[in-house]
Amino acid sequence: MIEIRIHGRGGQGAVIASKLLAMAFFKEGKFVQSFPTFGVERRGAPVAAFVRIDDKQILVRSQIYEPDHIIVLDPTLIDAVDVTQGLKPGGWILINSTQKPEEFGNLKKFKVSVVDASDIAARHRLGSKSHPIVNTAILGAFAKITGLVKIDSVLAAVGEEVPVHPEENMKASKEAYESVVV
């Protein structure tokens, strides 16, 4: 079983990202489960969403305490919350950032990867310039760095599930897939 935690801020689309990622794995015949942090969500406040993937039916229904991989939609969260909490050794931390992986000094123990998803999203006019919607872009990068899911599955999930500008979202995913820095 693979467990993934996605960090974002309320309104950034972390929950949708978790659903899209689950969809992508579902398209490859996996059993999936995705859920938000249980409770109330406020715009701008730190939130998390989760994905479980397995080859057999997923029975466990507890929270995810020791994720295999982490996705961070907003680099400012690195200082606000402990995004690495429970991360299994060898797991990836994928960050939406303009910085280089080595610049995240306090994450040295982990495999860090970055993609400028904000820039990609803004160029594809997803959301607004000040608040780009980065969730679809970063999933493309996730497919690349982990190799767990095919980019075509991600693109298919994005194309089917995103109600507004699906084409542009798919392009953003693809671009992130190609430009992610490992």
User: At its nearest, how many Å lie between another protein and the CB of residue 54?
Assistant: 11
- Of 36 and 159, the one with the shorter C-beta distance to another protein is 36
Residue ranges in 11-30 that form contacts with another protein under rule CB under 8 A: 18-19, 22-23, 26
Residue 40 binding another protein, by CB under 8 A: yes
Binding range to another protein, per CB under 8 A, among 31-39, 68-76, 124-132, 172-180? 31-39
Gap between the Cα atoms of 110 and 106, Å rounded: 9
Gap between the Cα atoms of 56 and 41, Å rounded: 31
With CB under 8 A as the contact rule, the residue among 10, 11, 28, 36 that binds another protein is 36
- Of 62 and 106, the one with the shorter C-beta distance to another protein is 62
Residue 135 binding another protein, by CB under 8 A: no
- Of 38 and 108, the one with the shorter C-beta distance to another protein is 38
Helices (H), ranges, 102-165:
117-123, 135-146, 151-161
Gap between the Cα atoms of 126 and 65, Å rounded: 32
What distance lies between CA 107 and its chain's CA centroid?
18
| Alpha-carbon distances of 168 from 102, 120, 124, 125, 162, rounded to whole Å | 30, 10, 6, 8, 10
The letter for the amino acid at 79 is: D
Q: What is the total count of residues that contact another protein (CB under 8 A)?
A: 21
The length of the chain is 182
Binding range to another protein, per CB under 8 A, among 37-45, 80-88, 134-142, 173-181? 37-45
Gap between the Cα atoms of 161 and 38, Å rounded: 22
Residue 158 binding another protein, by CB under 8 A: no
With CB under 8 A as the contact rule, the residue among 45, 60, 80, 182 that binds another protein is 60
Q: Which residues in this chain contact another protein in the complex, by CB under 8 A?
A: 18-19, 22-23, 26, 31-36, 38-40, 58-63, 65
